[in-house]
Structures are given as C-alpha cells and as structure tokens.
Structure 1
Amino acid sequence: MSATSTAALPVPPKAAPAAFPAPPTEMSTRDWIAMCAGMLGAFMAILDIQITNSSLKDILGSLSATQEEGSWVSTAYLVAEIIVIPLTGLLSRGFGLRRYMLGTTAVFLTASALCGNAWSLNSMIAFRVIQGFSGGALIPMAMTLVLTRLPVSKRTIGMALFGLTATLAPSLGPTVGGYLSEIYGWPSIFYVNMAPGLLMLSGIAYGLRDEGGQLKLFREADWTGIFCMAIGLGGLTVMLEEGNSKDWFDSSYILVCAALAIAGLLGWVLSALLRPSTFVNLRLFATRNFRISTVMALVTGMGLYGSTFVLPIYLAQIAGYSPMQIGEVIMLMGLPQLLVTPIVARLSTRLDNRIMASFGLTMFGISCLINAYMDANVGYTQLILPQVVRAIGQPFLMLTLQTFVMQGVAPRDVGSASSLFNMTRNLGGSIGIAMLATMLTQRTQFHWSRIGEAASSYALATQERLDQLTQSFVSSGIEPSMAAQQATQMINNLITREASVMAFNDCFWIMGVVLIGCVPLVWMFDRVTAVGGGGGH
C-alpha cells in the first residue's frame, strides 16, 4: 500500500477475533467433502438468482399477478442476497462456521419448498426474501472454505472450482428453470434444490468440526453500519431492478430509492471509518490489488449476468426458440469450461496471472463481438463459436481475479475480502442487466425510427412491397381492406424485428468493447503467480 493511500486513513481497525483456524498443511477426506459441499451451496444460490426468469410467466399466471408486480419475484431475492453477503463474516464468527452453514442451508431449503407452495404473490415475495437472505450467505462461505480449509498446495484447485460455480450457474439458471417448468411445472424449479441441498447438509455436517461461536460479537457489532449498509444496498438494488420499467429518474419511486442508496452507502462508509472494529473491513479498498480486483469483479459481473440476460431474450423474441432450445444453446458453455478449468488452474502456478486475465477478458470480449453481428436468421450452428469462445475465456478471468483479490489479505480479513468481492460481482450483474434492459428499449426505438424513415409509406419500394403483400392476401380470399391492413402490419412487424436485432447487436457490441477495454486495467495489478496453488509474488 502506498504512503499516499494510507495517510488519510484512520488508525487501522482492531483485529477481529479469529474466525477460523489456520489453514491446514495436509488435506483430509473430510476437508474435501466440506469444500465440495460449500461449492454445491454456492452453485445453488447463484443458480436461483435467475432460475425464475424462464418460468415467470407461468408463476404470475398461477398467482394472478401482473408482469410489473412479478418483477419482485426476482428483485426480492436479489435485495436479500446482496444485503446478507457482507454480513457473512460476522454471522459465521458469531454462530460458528459449521452451525451457521448448516442453519442457513436448512432455512434455504425450507424457503425453497415454501416458494414452490406459494399461494399468492405476497407469499412468494416473502419466501423469496428468506431464500435470498439464506442462500446469499452460501456464496462467500464457499470461497472462505477454500481459503481457510485447504492447504496452500491445493488452494488453486479450490479457487478454480469456485470460479466454475460463479460462471456456470448464471448461465444455467434460465436453462434449468426453462427445462423444469416446461416438463414438470414451475414449482419444480424450487423443489430441485432439495436433493443437492440435503447432500450439502450431509457434507457440511460430516466435513466441518464444530468450533463454537462467539455470540458476544453481536452485542459489540456495528449495528448502525449494518443498518446503513442494508438501506444503501437494498435501495441501490431496487433502483437497478425496477428502474427501466419505471422510466428511471422520471419516477419519484426511483428517486427515493436513489436517495436511500446514496444516504445508506455514505453512512456505511462513515461508520466503518469512524469505528475501530467493523463487521466487514472496508479499508481493504485502500490496497491497490483489492481495489482493482473489485472493479474488475464489477465488470465481470456485468458481462456474466448481462450476456446470460440478453442472449435468451434474443433467442426467444427473434429466433422463436422454446425454453428447451434456449437451454441447449446456453449449455454449449458447460463442457468447454469443465475441460478448460483444470488447465487454467495448472497454468496459474506458472504464468503471470495478468497475462491469463488479459487473455480471459479478450476472449470474453471477442465472444460478445461475434454476437454483435447476428441477424434474424441466426441459428444454433452460428451460436456455437461465440459460446465456446466465451466458455474458454471465463475460467481464465475468474480464477485469476480470485488470486488477485486475495493477494496480501491478512488471515483475519479473509471473510471480509470474500464478502466484498462476491458482493461486487453480484452488484455488477444487477448494474449490467439494468443498463442492458434500458439500452434494449432505447436502441430499439432509435433503430425503429431510422428504419421507419427509410421505409416510409411514401417510398416507392415500400409502396411496391405493400401492393405485393396486399395482392397476395387478396388472392388467398381476404377482403381488400383487411388485406391492406395485414400488409401494413406485416411491414411494421418486419421493421420492429430488424430494429430489435440491431438493438441486441448494440448490447453485445458495448459488452465486448467494455470487456476488452478493461485489459489495460489488469496490468495495474502487482505481478502474481499462484505459488503452489495459493498465491504469491
């Protein structure tokens, strides 16, 4: 850390009581089982962020809710998840890691079952809040298990597995939801958590030893900071999720959310700087590697969640794919990642991780740029290349970012670093989806206007095409007046389709440019290679 970055900071915080024992020097079977159980939990929690998207129409129909009201089925989960992630360090120390993970998993499974049995929109939203609050804790806990339960020689393997959950789960969420909803009905998208959840409970119960908790930490906790954090992150998430549907800052509702977000986040930062001990150490942002890592996590989240938001919509609206067909396209990213991840883990111990991160960003960006040249006739075979390129790049990016973010982090701050990194990535996903949803709307309108000007009814080519279509409809037995209306509607539909295709291409173009444009930022990191699976200079 540079002298200039520390001069303005208050006295460093008092060391928090050790949350976990020192990393072991050898790996036991119980440790492997505990780590794999943690990965399973993180995968379920990330999967459930978007698993309702494909089935939302069926859910809303069953609960007699409108599309606007139904947006809260996803928003409620995201708000609860983003709030609990920074709290996991405090909660795991207070209750004890084993007890906390068993308890939060049990609550997650109960809430999942209740979601599948929801009888109204309000009950569904309430159960999704509980599901998000319990599931969100499983994400940083998986990363914490890797850093505290694995010996240094095996840590790269664990980080690679965690990176795999972070990249595969957002892609598979809509896919799994679409498959299950179409075959078994929408409640099955929540019941699917039961089998892996029970397996996770067994793995944690067997793999982790009960080390007790420190309940006194809750009495000494920075409850003012926690309150401000919850208000700030909650307001920001709601603003991002609901902004596009409510015309952003033309809505007083969004203005209130923005004000709460600003006030809450400022209050959280001030409380963290003024107190000697906090529930999550925001002073980590004073270190260059950590600061750049979280910026990159934000961008990566935008790319991960943004690409899995835009592509399924394109395939449904433009290509007319069913949820199962969309799932087959999205699944193209699965196998390459499974094959590439072990190679990436090995390379990370030998190569400068900045080279690997740059390669990952570039491949991810190139895959988006390939998608930026789609047309209305793009089919399955044309989508294989960008999906495979994306699948190759993502493991290089995720594993190296995790190495960078933990470089130089003190053992007492492992929980804070894990929480802030995962919080930032998920927040990046919300920002990316909000920006892309707004961009789709605005760019579709822009392109529609431009095409509409060229395809004016006064243009000779348009008049000729309308006459051809009208005569075709008349020859099929339709009355002339109705035939003319249908011909006009067909031209309007064609313009709308082409305008939408151009808007989707614009979204992929922006994502590709942003991802590749962040490559120079990678070279601001310290030179790092994963030494023996851990990390070092």
Structure 2
Amino acid sequence: MSSTTINQAPALPQNGQKVDLRTWIAVGAGMLGAFMAVLDIQITNASLKDILGSLSATQEEGSWISTAYLVAEIIVIPLTALLTRVFGARRYMMGTTALFLLFSTLCGAAWNLESMIVFRMAQGFTGGALIPMAFTLVMLKLPPSKRAAGMAIFGLTATLAPSMGPTLGGYLSEIYGWPSIFYINWVPGLLLIAGVAYGLDAEKTKWGDLLKTDWLGIGFMALGLGCLTIFLEEGNSKDWFDSGFIITFAALALTGLLGWIVTSATRANPFVNLALYGQRNFLVATALSAVFGMALYGSSFLLPLYLGQIAGYSPMQIGEVIMWAGLPQLFIMPFVAKLSGKVDNRILCSFGLLMFGVSCLMNAYMDATTGYDQLLASQVVRSLGQPFVMLTLSNFAMQGIAPKDMASASSLFNMTRNLGGSIGIALLATSLSQREHFHSQRLGEAVNSFAPAAQERIAALTQSFISKGYEAVMAGEQALKAIDGIVRRESYVMAYNDGFFIVSAILLACIPVLWMSDKVKSPGGGGGAH
C-alpha cells in the first residue's frame, strides 16, 4: 500500500501560482470543520451542570461525556490519512460531517447518561477527522506563497475554539437550553458540506487499500491512544495508581503504544508514518505542540473553574472573561502570518511562548477578589502570544515533509497537540487537589484556637452572628464554620495560583528547546520553509 495522502503522489501548487475562488472555498470549509470539532471538545463544560441534572447523573459520571468525545477523536486523527486515501478528500469530509451532524442531534436528544456517552463517542469519531483534514488541505491545495495565510486561519481554529467553547456554550444554554449547544452544529456543518462539494474534485474510491491496510497496527493504536486518554482523563478522580481501574488502563495504554511502534517499524507501508518523528524539526515541533496543547487546554480548564468556584461567576460571565483570550487573535494572526515570511520563526515562536508564559504568571497572583477587571490584562497578553506559537510550530512541523507524507504529518501533529491537552488537564487537576490539601494544612496550622489573630477573628464573627439573632453557642459554631470556609477558599486560590505558575514555568522552559530546530521562514516571504 502506498503511503500517499489525499492524492497519489500529489503535485503541489507552485510558488506564486494563483489560487482560484473554488480552492479558497474548499480550504475555508475545511477550517470551519476544524473549528467546529475543536469547539465541541469544551462546549459542554459550561453547561455540564444542566446536562447532568437533566440526565440524573453525578459529577463523576458526567466526566465521561467529555472523555468519550476525546477518546474517539484522538483515535480517528491518525486514521485520517488512510480514510482519505480510500474515500477521497471530498467524499470523506462530506460523509464524516453528515454523520457528525447526526450524532450531534442525537446528543441533544439523549435520554440518559449512557446514550449521551455513546453519542458523544460517535460524535468525536466523526468530527475528529476534520481537524487534520483542514491542515492537510492547506498544505496540498495552496502554493507556498499562500500557506502562511492558510496556516494563520488554521491557527485561529485551534486557539479560538477553546476560548469560544465555554463562552458559546454558556450563552446558548442560558438562553435556549443545553441541547442547543449540539443543534448549533448544523449551521457550520451544512456550510462545510456545501463548500467541500463545490471546492474539491471527486476522487475514485480505493477499496483495495482497506484490504492491504495494517489492521494490527490500527488495533494497537486504538488500544494505546484510547486507554491513554481514559487514563489521563479519569486518573485524578480515581486517585491514579491507587485504583485498579487506572492501573489496568495504564497497562493497556503502554501495551497498545508499544505494539503500534513495533508494527509501524516492521511494516513497509504503515497506515501512518511514525518515522516522521525521526526528523529533528518535526520532533521538536510536535513536542512543543504537545506543550502548547497542555497550556492552551490547561489554562482553559483552570480559569473557568476558578471563576465558577471562587468568584461565583455564571457560565455567561465566565465566557465574557475568557473571550478576551480569543477575540484579539482575529486581528493579530494576519500580522503574524506576514511576519513569519520575513523573520526567523524561532524568534517569533520564542516571543509567543514568552507572552503566553507571562500571561499565566500574571494569573499566578490571584486572590479571592480577582475578577473580570483584574483578569483582562492577562487574557489580552495571552491572546498576543498564542498566534505566534501556533503558526510557527505549524511551519516547523511541515518543513521538508514530502507530499506523500503530509497527511501523516498533519495527523501526528494534531494528535500530539490534543494529547498534550489531555496531559495538561490531568496534570493540573491533580496539582489542584494536592496543592489545595497542602495549603489547607499549612493555613490550618496557623489558624487555630491558640493563635491571637484567629481568636480575635472568631470573637468578632461570633459577635456578628449574635447581633443577627443567633444564640451564643450557635454563633460560636457559625463563626468556626465561617473561618473554615475562608481557609478552604484561600487554599483553593493558592492552588489555582500554583497551577498557573506550573504552566508558566513549562512554557518558558520550552524556549531553549525550540532553538534545537533549524531556522525556518514561511515561503511566502522568501524563506525556505517548505
């Protein structure tokens, strides 16, 4: 089986070649699909409470609503190159989008938790392919001089969607009810189908490629990535290796991933080319893509949680804060695209990592009164840095990739970013639990009945409750409860600060790693990236 991608050994457009409207419509439709697929990862977060109430499910059970989507999405991304070869880009994108819309509708009509999990998994499996397909269309349909613009649009889908997910989900749930967050997919979905039908040529179906496919490798890949995602998503809630469930999935993940690597190395034509990790620029770019995914999804996980738990914000109010990490990127990304053809991308990416890291460091000094006004500056700084990272990492990853390997490179690059997101959320959820416990113990040692400051505070609170009509004994108990509540609140605030500090430290530590890659410029500006 040949390892070619969307076309057999496709002839890439030449530099300076004019791009017709039809091609731009196809690329734009692909971007719409990627945005929709990434958006649906987190759009349920703001509405989860309403969904769980409607389905009579607990918070722990509800975590599987997101996990099911992520597991299916992470499995289908590496399969995209194979499925595109078999069905052709046009037929595959239209078919998988139609199924995505069907399963989105069924999610909105789910009657219990089990049905919701099944439909979310099917939704992830059909929607996940749209992410690497958008990336691949940019590389195969646009000439080098236009790829920076295409990558800029793709970068927006990857960074805007996590910021817009909670915002859009919160608004839709509050105004129209939670099923609307799934039904809204019909608008971009139908536009995508129309755009792809018009913009891409039909290709012959190659059923024979399915017979020659490395199904053992696919089985190992699905086992490894699926179990790894479940391990990461559910580990914190089940106390990691204290749980037999988690130990089992860790072992299955290790078995699957090792099996995938071995079968890929021993097959002449694996379904996705893992040997691309042997290219230095691709390895550095995908490693940093994982870190970027960790920071992107991790910060999108921490901030809404803080605003809901500590500041008491509604989903709509949370969305209004988070959108400032997304909206300015619409204006910054075109500037970054132009700059990427004139300036060494290592400099641009370093600047982006620095800004992203600084924005997280700004969030590492929050207190219980921090809200919209105090967070605005850090969100704007974050929106300034993210486009520089996303666009330049795409350039690094695709430098020197042969046309036949572009779909594999796209799949691996996007898979790694999503895996990084799962790792980041797992790391930060665990850190939040452990650091809250640590700070609660430290504060509890200082706030005790023998400390003069604590005695004064308890006495003042007791008098306050007595003045409100409480009896003396009851007032004393209420005062102690209030003190305990303050200690827990401050412990959580300090734990959230620690989480943002961890993300900041990792981002800043990646800057020296970036300089292990070769110098790259987008070819549109005269550099030799591709």
Q: Does 1:19 align with 2:6?
A: yes
Which position in structure 2 is the counterpart of 1:7? none
CA contact (8 A) 2:342 2:526 kept: no
2:424 corresponds to which letter in structure 1? Answer: G
Which position in structure 2 is the counterpart of 1:348? 340
2:315 to 311, 316, 323: 323
Query: What displacement does 1:23 show?
Result: 2.6
CA contact (8 A) 1:314 1:504 kept: yes
Partner deviation per Cα, 1:433-475 (whole Å, 9 max, x = no partner): 0000000000001001000100012212211211111111111
CA contact (8 A) 1:439 1:503 kept: yes
Query: What displacement does 1:379 show?
Result: 2.2
CA distance in 1, matches of 2:365, 2:382: 16
Which position in structure 1 is the counterpart of 2:291? 299
Query: What displacement does 1:533 show?
Result: 6.0
Partner deviation per Cα, 1:239-280 (whole Å, 9 max, x = no partner): 000000000000000000000000000000000000100110
1:367 to 356, 359, 362: 359
CA distance in 2, matches of 1:178, 1:238: 26
Alignment of 1:362-511 (within 5 A): 362-511=354-503
Query: What displacement does 1:26 show?
Result: 2.5
CA distance in 1, matches of 2:74, 2:312: 34
Q: Does 1:188 align with 2:180?
A: yes
1:40 to 26, 29, 32: 32
Q: Which moved more, 1:184-193 or 1:477-486?
A: 477-486
CA contact (8 A) 2:233 2:422 kept: yes
CA contact (8 A) 1:154 1:534 kept: no
Q: Which moved more, 1:482-491 or 1:24-33?
A: 24-33
Equivalent residue of 1:518, what SS? helix
1:78 corresponds to which letter in structure 2? Answer: L
Query: What displacement does 1:18 show?
Result: 5.2
CA distance in 1, matches of 2:262, 2:449: 61
Query: What displacement does 1:153 show?
Result: 1.4
Distance 1:389 1:196, change over 3 A: same
Partner deviation per Cα, 1:11-58 (whole Å, 9 max, x = no partner): xxx752453232333211110111111000000000000111111111
Which position in structure 1 is the counterpart of 2:51? 59
Query: What displacement does 1:66 show?
Result: 1.4
CA contact (8 A) 1:38 1:200 kept: yes
CA contact (8 A) 1:154 1:533 kept: no
Distance 1:17 1:516, change over 3 A: closer
5+ long unaligned stretches in structure 2: none
2:133 to 133, 136, 141: 141
Query: What displacement does 1:173 show?
Result: 1.1
Query: What displacement does 1:197 show?
Result: 0.7
Alignment of 1:91-240 (within 5 A): 91-240=83-232
CA distance in 2, matches of 1:467, 1:533: 70
Query: What displacement does 1:334 show?
Result: 2.6
Partner deviation per Cα, 1:395-432 (whole Å, 9 max, x = no partner): 00000000000001110000000000000000000000
State TM-score, norm by structure 2.
Answer: 0.97
Across the aligned residues of Structure 1 and Structure 2, the Cα RMSD in angstroms comes to 1.1
CA distance in 1, matches of 2:201, 2:168: 34
Partner deviation per Cα, 1:204-248 (whole Å, 9 max, x = no partner): 111111022211110000000000000000110000000000000
Which position in structure 2 is the counterpart of 1:5? none
CA distance in 2, matches of 1:366, 1:316: 23
CA distance in 2, matches of 1:455, 1:16: 65
CA contact (8 A) 1:77 1:132 kept: yes
CA distance in 2, matches of 1:400, 1:18: 23
CA contact (8 A) 1:155 1:533 kept: no
Identity rate of aligned residues, in percent? Answer: 65
2:152 corresponds to which letter in structure 1? Answer: A
CA distance in 1, matches of 2:184, 2:194: 17
Which position in structure 2 is the counterpart of 1:281? 273
CA contact (8 A) 1:407 1:535 kept: no
CA distance in 2, matches of 1:328, 1:50: 16
Distance 1:18 1:319, change over 3 A: closer
1:83 to 53, 72, 75: 75
1:247 corresponds to which letter in structure 2? Answer: D
CA distance in 2, matches of 1:71, 1:379: 27
CA distance in 1, matches of 2:83, 2:528: 29
- Aligned residue pairs total 524
5+ long unaligned stretches in structure 1: 1-13
Equivalent residue of 1:376, what SS? coil
Partner deviation per Cα, 1:290-326 (whole Å, 9 max, x = no partner): 1111110110000000000000011111111111111
Q: Does 1:290 align with 2:282?
A: yes
State TM-score, norm by structure 1.
Answer: 0.96
